[in-house]
Amino acid sequence: MYLARESRTYRVQQVPAYLRVDQVANFLATASRSVGSAENIKVHSLATSLGFTSFIRRATKTATITFKHTPPIFDNDEEQWSVPSDHDRWNRNLIFDIHFRGFTALNDVPAGEQQLE
């Protein structure tokens, strides 16, 4: 089913782990002018990524976002984009996708509040 580009939800991977949800839009706008202004970005969730971490690779977070107006970089028929970061504290590419393949955590559970049932 065709989904209008203005209605897409994007998963953003490789977001710095030090960010809080209220900092993500500003970070993305600073990291790449191609995504537009922070006012154009609505952040819906942010969680620690479940992927591999080691001494070589720093932990990251994954966000889900929408745009008020689709930036030109995403106004095409692709399902995934690798966007270089120009942020002075983050030199990794940011991975945007709309396919959501794999597991996507939506939030972090505070330590001590995890429950198994």
Domain boundaries, the chain: 5-97
Q: Which two tokens mark 22?
A: 């209220």
* Confidence at residue 117, expressed as pLDDT on a 0 to 100 scale: 62
What is residue 110's three-state secondary structure?
Answer: coil
Give yes or no for a contact between 80 and 62, defined as CB atoms under 8 angstroms apart.
Answer: no
Tally of CB atoms within 10 A around 26: 15
**pTM, rounded to two decimals:** 0.83
Q: Which two tokens mark 97?
A: 């996708």
* Confidence at residue 55, expressed as pLDDT on a 0 to 100 scale: 46
Alpha-carbon distance 24 to 43, whole Å?
7
Q: In order along the chain (117 residues), what is the average pLDDT of each group of 10 residues?
A: 74 94 97 96 91 60 95 94 92 94 72 59
